[in-house]
Every structure is written in C-alpha cells, then in structure tokens.
Chain A
Amino acid sequence: MAVLKRRRKPAAMLAALLLGCVLGSVAAAPVPGEYQLKAIFLFNFTQFVEWPDDAFAGPQAPFVIGVLGEDPFGATLEEAVRGESVGTRTLVVERYRHLADLRPCQILFIDRSARPELAAPGRLLDRRGMLTVSDAANPPAADTIIGFINENRRIRLRINVESAREAGLTISSKLLRPAQIIGNPGGDP
C-alpha cells in the first residue's frame, strides 16, 4: 500500500513537473522546474538529517518547513510535502515574509529576498534545531547549513558541517557524499 501511495505521488509530481516545464518555458524562468526540484530536495533533507528532540515544541508538534522571504516555490512545496510525514510528525509548510514573522521551524529556506533583513545588525537568527537552506550562488547569509548550487543544469549541494553541528543537527554521511563540504567536518570550533 505504501508503495502504491508513493507511486501515485511521483505520477502527480510528474504531471506537475510537466506543467511546470510548460509554465517555465512560457515564463522564461532561468531553470525550468528548479524550485520544484528544490522543493523536493527540501523534503528529502528530512530523510538524511536528524533533529534533536528539543527542536520540536512537543511530541505532537508538526514538522515545519518554513520559507523566509519571498516564496519562490509557489504551490510546488505544498505539493512536495502533501500527505508526507516525518516519523510521526505531520509536515507543515509555513511562510514567513519577514524575519519578524519567523516562528520555530525545522527546515528554513531563506530566500535571497530576506537577505537585507538578515544582514541588518541585531537581527540574529536563532538557528538551534533549524536546518537552514539557501541558494548558494546568492546566499542570504554565509552560514546557512545547506546551499543549493546550480551546476550544468543540475542542482548540487554545499553543506556547512560546522554550522550543522552548531545547530545541533546530525547530517547523514550519505548526504555528505554527493555534496560539497565546507567547514571542519570533524573537529569542534
């Protein structure tokens, strides 16, 4: 059953992808379906990263994927997580237009539009228990844990293991394997 559910999902996604491609080509987007893929990647991080228990408000608290700044994903992020869960926790997508709107979340995609807010002094982001993700080419902050790299029309990852350690997250070595690693992966700061 579970297999079938998962199959249905890619079929839907494929349809969305095709739609995205059509729309993308119409909208002349730089990478067709780029954010659609990134949305999936965001969800995939939930599989390769372990969050400490205190990252959640409670045992029943949902797993929250937040988008800070302008939302580049549109509906694709909802599509990517629809019906999914992380362990027993339900997946929730939240959007924070501004930093002030920010609420505790486990994955936070920081759009480049949020960079000015973050760059402002005193606006320190509490990053404990939070996997911060951003586009690497246009980083909102140098210290996001994972950055998306666009390379030969492919998306690669750049992982700052130091930041991840600071955030109290454990990143699976499997994830590290295809990614560029920055920071000191083994030693303490």
Chain B
Amino acid sequence: MSASHQPIRKQLMRMVLLTSGAVLLLSTASLFIYDFLTFRQSNRNQLEILGKAIAANSTAALAFENAADAAAVLTAFDADPHIVAAALYDRDGDLFATYPARLAASTFPQRTPAIGGYGFGGGFLSGIQSVVEGGRRLGTLYVRADMGAIDARLRLYGGIVTLVIAAAGLLAYVISRQMQRRITEPVLELARTAAAISTRRDYSVRAAPTDAHELNQLTEAFNHMLAEIQQSEARLHMQLGHLSLLQHITRAIGDRHDLASIFRVVLQNVETTLPIDFGCICQYDADSAELTVTTVGATSARHAGPLGLAEGTRLPAAGNGLEDCVAGRLIHEPDTLAVPFPMTQCLAAAGLRSVVMAPLNAENSCHGVLIAARSSSQAFSSADCEFLKQLSEHVALASRQAQLNSALQQAYDDLRQSQQTVMQQERLRALGQMASGIAHDINNAISPVSLYTESLLEREPNLSERARGYLTTIQRAIDDVAGTVARMREFYRQREQQLTLTRVDLNRLAQQALELTHARWSALPQQRGVMIELQSALHSAPVEVMAAEGEIRDALTNLIFNAVDAMPDGGVLTLRTGSEGHRSWIEVGDSGIGMDEATRRRCLEPFFTTKGERGSGLGLAMVYGTVQRHSAELEIDSEAGRGTRMRLVFAPANSSVAIAGLPSAFPVTVRRLRILLVDDDPMLIRSLEDVLSTDGHQVVAANGGQAGIDAFAAAVRQRKPFDVVITDLGMPHVDGRRVAAAIKAGAPATPVIMLTGWGQRMIAENDVPPHVNRVLSKPPRMPELRAVLAEFCGRNADTETVITDQVRA
C-alpha cells in the first residue's frame, strides 16, 4: 500500500513526525557539526597555546642545550591527559628532549618533522611549534594529542541528540495526535459525504460545517457545489424529460397525416406529460389575420367554453397580443393579470395565470399558434418555453407536411378523375364515331320500312284492324330505331342540343316499355322453363315529366332487359312509378344476382358488361346518357345476391305545357311537283319514289351523284326543269354537296333538299352545306317531307292534294 492510499490520519501523522524529525535532526546535526568543528578548533587552539607556552619556556633550555631542563619543561604537558607525546628538537633538527619519559625515543621522529603548524591526522591532533627567542629560531617542539576528548565529546553529543530527538518525536506525536483531529475530522467528514453521494447519487446530502476557517470554506464550497450539481441534475432530468416527450410526440405525429389527428396527439401529450392546464392549437389565416381554434386538448375542453376558445372559434390576431406570435416570436406571459388584452384577461378570469403562445412556423410563415396555459403565475420556466418552441417547430413542420400531403392527395385524386374523364370521353368519342357510321347505314336501311309503313297506314283503306295495329307497332318500332340510332352518336355529348322535351306520362311509358319487351321477360324465359313474375306498381295518377319520350322508353327497355338478364333462374320484375314533392321517378327492379361494389362502380361505363359475348356494354351507358341529357338522376340500389333497383328521378313537368307528340295532324297542300331524287341506294330510291308518287308527284330517280347532275341538266335542256331536288349526302364519286353545287350553278332558284343518314348530326351542329336549302334526316318522315316541300313549292301548286298525317300513338 503506497503512502497515497493510506488514511489521511496516518499520512498526516507521518508527515508531522517526519517533518519534526527532519527539523530536529538537521538542527541537532548542524549544532553537532558546529560544536564538533569548534571543539576541534578549540582543541587545536588549546594545543597551540600549550605548545607555544611550552616552546617559550623551552627556549633557554634549547639555547643553552640543557636537555634535562627541556625534559622538565615538557612535563608541563602532564596537565592535559590527552597529550600523549611531545618532543623538542634543537636548531639542527636533532631530537633534544621527549615526553613522557616512559616513551622510547625511537617512537618519535628522529628529525624535526618537515611541516609546521597544528592539525589532525592519523587519528591524532599534532602540532609542530618553532621555538623562537628574540627572533631567532632555537629549535622545534613537536606535540601530539589523542582524539579522546573529541571522541568523548562526540559520544556525549550523540547521546544528547538521540535523547532530544526521541523526546521531541514523542512530544510531536502526542501533540499532533491531538491537533490533527481538528483537521482530519472535517476532511474525513467531507470524504464520507462524498463517498455517500457517489454510492447513492443523492445530491441532497450536505457536509456538516466545522469550526476551522479554511475547512469550513471548503465545506461550504463543497456544499455549494453539491447544490449546483443538484440543480444541474434536476435541470438535466427535466431536459431529458422534455427531450423524451419531444421525441415521443415527434414519433406520434410522424405516424399521422391529418392535421386534426396531429394536433390532438400533440395536445394530449403536452397536457399529460409537460403538464399544462390548458392547451389548444389555432390555425392562422394570414389573409384575414385571424386565428381559428382548430383543436382543444381533451382535458382542456372544460376551460375552452368559458374562455371562448372552443373549437371553431375565430380570434383576430390584432388586439390579442398575437401579432408578434404570428410574426414568428414565442410569447410568454408570466402573469396574465398584468396583460390588458381580452384573451389574456379571459385566461386570467378562468384561473389560468400564465400562458405561452408558440408560433407554428414553417417555411418562413406562420401556420398557427400553440397556446399552453397553467393555473399559477410564473409557472413556465425558460426550459418549458424552449421546449414549447421546439415542439411548435416540430408541429409546424408536421402540419405543413400534412397539408402538403393532403394537397398532393387532392392533386392525385383530381388527376385520376381527369384521367378517368378523359378516358371516358375518349371512349365516348370513339363510340360516337362508330355509332354515326352505324346510324347512317341503319337509317338508310330502315328508310323503306318507315316509308312503306307510313304509306300503308295513310293510303290503304281496307286494312283490317289487326293489320293496322301491327303496322302502327312497326311504325313505332321504326321510330324508336331511328331515335335510338340518332342518340347513339350523342354518347359523347354533355347535352343533347336538339333534344326536344315534351310532357310525358311515365305510367304510359312504363306500359309501352313492358309491351315492347314482353317477349323478353315473358315468352323467352318460359321457353327455358323459368318464371319471371311481373309486379307493376304504377302511381295512381299520371306521373308527368318533361322528357324525350322515345329516349325514356328506350332507357326503360334497356333496364328491363338488364333486369331479366339478372334473373337467369327467374324472379320478380318490378316496375314502379311515383311522385313525391319535386321528384318524380320510375323504377325498374329485379330480385336477381345484384352487383358487387366494383361492378356497381363501373356499370355505367360504355362497353363494360357482365354478360360476356351477349352484352354490348352499351345498355346502361345509354341509359346514363339519357339521364344526363334530361338533367335527371339515376339511382342505383344493388346488392350482390339480393337484386338491383334502378330509379330514374325527374323534376316534375310544368303543368302549363301540353303533352306533345309531333303536330297531331296538319293538312299540307302541295301542287304536283317534278322531283329529282338522287341517291345511291336503290331500295331507298324505290320506296321514296313510291311514296312521293302516291302523293301525286312526278319523281325522276337518279342513281348516284353524277347521274343526278346529268338528269337535272337534261331536264333543263328539255325545258322540263325539276321543281325540287332531293339528294343524298354520302355517295360514291360525286357526293350530295357537289350535286347541290351543280344544281344551284344551273338553276339557283331550284330548292335542294338533302336527305341523309347524318342529317340529325348536321342539323345539330348547324352544318348545313352550301347550296342546300334544307337537311332532313333519314329515315325520311312523310309529314316532315311534305311540310318542307310545301314550304319551298307550296305557292306554285297547280294540283292540290290534301294529305293527312296520322296521329302517332
């Protein structure tokens, strides 16, 4: 164990003993040496004095060569027992006399020793003294003393020194043993305190004060240091707590992406852990310079009402001392009573005496304010403020991120919506183009049917009632086909420009639809051995809406087809109408397979079908188009396995408008006309020729555009010009436009009527080609054609024919 590891008591004792021992040793040794040296010197001096005296006495003996007398003189050395030998030499250096007598002369140097003076050597003190009388040297005295005196002196001194050191050491030990307690006790007390602190980490322990001034200073300094450490530890602990809370909150808000949730979790943590008595977060609107209380902490809610800080409350930043805060500075009011603003006064009145308002700053702008309040005044330390400042920065960042995230999500949704819209439009456009082509061909194809049916109904007097009924149904079906074909092209249109709304009765349309689809929902299932029960629950009174009759009927037909298809194993087909307040509706329901959510969402898309090869994917799309054109609503209520209900909801019709179809009947008086008919479709030429001839007109048909131009030119040359030209638009080689241009070039006054499968579209788009007086769509409707002929040629009629249009059912 080294000295530094021994107890301080032992060290101090050892130090005192060593110090006193060293001091004593040094002082006694110096005394001893001094005394030894002086004693030697005095011994030497004594010997010298003695030698000189004897020498002086022996001058005469030497001068007059009296050896006996010289020996007698030398006996004076008897006085000093330590003088062991002496001798006189004469002036020639020969031994003259010796002392003591018992010593043989041979023991002395036989000649005068060469070197004079007194000195120590060979264990003796010896001296060589000249014997001089009156300035003349008469001889030499040699004297020798042993060291006995010095040895005795040394022994004596050694004993004294040993005794003194021993006694002084003992005394020093006893005294220091008593005195050191006053020093070691406080030091040991300090050491014990320090040890207790280091083992227990309890910085509240204090060392007891002592009466020694410096040690008391030390103790006080130690205690002061302990107090500092205690405070520092407390501060550190609090900072750690804050950091931990901040981390906790940061992690919590990192998991959330909506502002409300972020604010709630922040307030909840701050309320419970910081803690605070009231906390809320306000969002700031820089334009209006107003704060809106967005979230109030869960336990703060009881304060929020009385404070006027309930969620949704708007606070002007100005006048509440919040201008600095929204400018980005943290505001700490240690005493709300002392601040005159309304909000702080409210806080004070609610018993919240101190408040911190931390701005939520992100990207150099303030998004809001975090308000934290406590009941007692001066309740927020600077560490609390710093924590709230950091927290508010985190919250601001998180809320900013949430906002950005939300905006991003919105943009993404918009983009997806746009993409879907564009896709839909693209589909509709493609569909429209295709539909136009189909419509053209269909219109051409059904034109003879329409013309002949109409002609039969008008002109055949002997028709049986049954034949008339069939013909009427055929005519209605043709009309619906024409209408359907006309609408096919309009899928992509937002509005049906030429849609003509009339007052229609939904009950009547429902019945017509059921009649039209009778085979589908009754005969065909029965052939497969499946029973579909019809439940018709029509409103008792007519349900009148403003609608395009054919379109609604078509839509209903489609819905009925779908309903039947949804019930492959049979079920109940429901048709209901109703009117309640400003809503009138017609509903087609089934008890079939229903639609799941994905199907329901996509069912209105064109070409989306669940029927495989059998389905066109256009049925519901057309229904939807119809609904949109009518500014009506389509309500779909479907559940997989439970069936589907499709409801068209209309605004009720204006009561003042009469229920309309085409003009019921109007007599058209037309003179016999010479008509040039130009078309490339022989069926159409023939049927139209038949019908117009039946009306009494003279019809010349030309197959193809060039043939038409040639026929018109030939007639002009023969001075039998045509009164009117009816031409198709789309023909190979020379189309209707060129025909019209050629005719107008030859005879500008001759009316040109264009009859085309594109007709409705051209009318809708106001795309009447030049040189054409009127565009009529295929299939041609006789009343329409007659009216146009009458308009252009009526005045010059030389043969009048009364034509009565049939009222359409």
Chain A residues within CB distance 8 Å of chain B = 2-3, 6, 10, 14, 37, 41, 44, 46-48, 154-157, 172, 174-179
Contacts and interface: CB of A to CB of B under 8 A. Distances in A.
Interface residues of chain B: helix, strand, loop or mixed (majority) = mixed
A178 B137 contact: no
Interface residues of B, number: 17
Given A3-B137, A46-B134, A177-B69, A10 B64 contact: no
B793 interface: no
Contact of A48 (B57, B63, B69): B63
17 contacts: A3-B137, A6-B91, A10-B91, A10-B92, A41-B63, A47-B134, A154-B66, A156-B64, A156-B66, A174-B57, A174-B133, A175-B63, A175-B64, A176-B60, A177-B61, A177-B69, A178-B64
Given A6-B136, A48-B133, A174-B57, A14 B92 contact: yes
Contacts of A46: 134
A49 B448 CA distance: 205
Interface of B: 56-57, 59-61, 63-66, 69, 91-92, 133-137
A178 B61 contact: yes
A155 B65 CA distance: 8
B28 to A, nearest CB: 45
B74 to A, nearest CB: 13
A127 B92 CA distance: 35
Contacts of A174: 56-57, 59-60, 133
A107 to B, nearest CB: 14
B64 A44 contact: yes
Given A10-B91, A10-B92, A174-B57, A44 B137 contact: no
A9 to B, nearest CB: 9
Given A14-B92, A154-B65, A155-B65, A177 B137 contact: no
A172 B64 CA distance: 13
A176 B69 CA distance: 11
A175 B61 CA distance: 8
Pick the 7 closest A-B CB pairs, nearest first. A47-B134, A178-B66, A174-B60, A178-B69, A44-B63, A47-B133, A175-B60
B441 to A, nearest CB: 172
A123 to B, nearest CB: 31
Given A6-B91, A48-B134, 11 more contacts: A10-B92, A41-B64, A48-B59, A155-B64, A174-B59, A174-B133, A175-B64, A176-B60, A177-B60, A177-B69, A178-B69
A175 B69 CA distance: 11
A46 B133 CA distance: 10
B135 to A, nearest CB: 8
A71 B701 CA distance: 222
Q: Which of B60, B63, B64, B135 has the most CB of A within 10 A?
A: B64
A160 B56 CA distance: 23
Contacts of B134: 46-48
Contacts of A176: 60
Contacts of B133: 47-48, 174
A41 B69 CA distance: 16
Nearest to A154: B65
Nearest to B73: A177
Contacts of B64: 41, 44, 155-157, 175, 178-179
B92 A178 contact: no
Given A154-B65, A155-B65, A48 B136 contact: no
B73 to A, nearest CB: 8
A14 B65 CA distance: 15
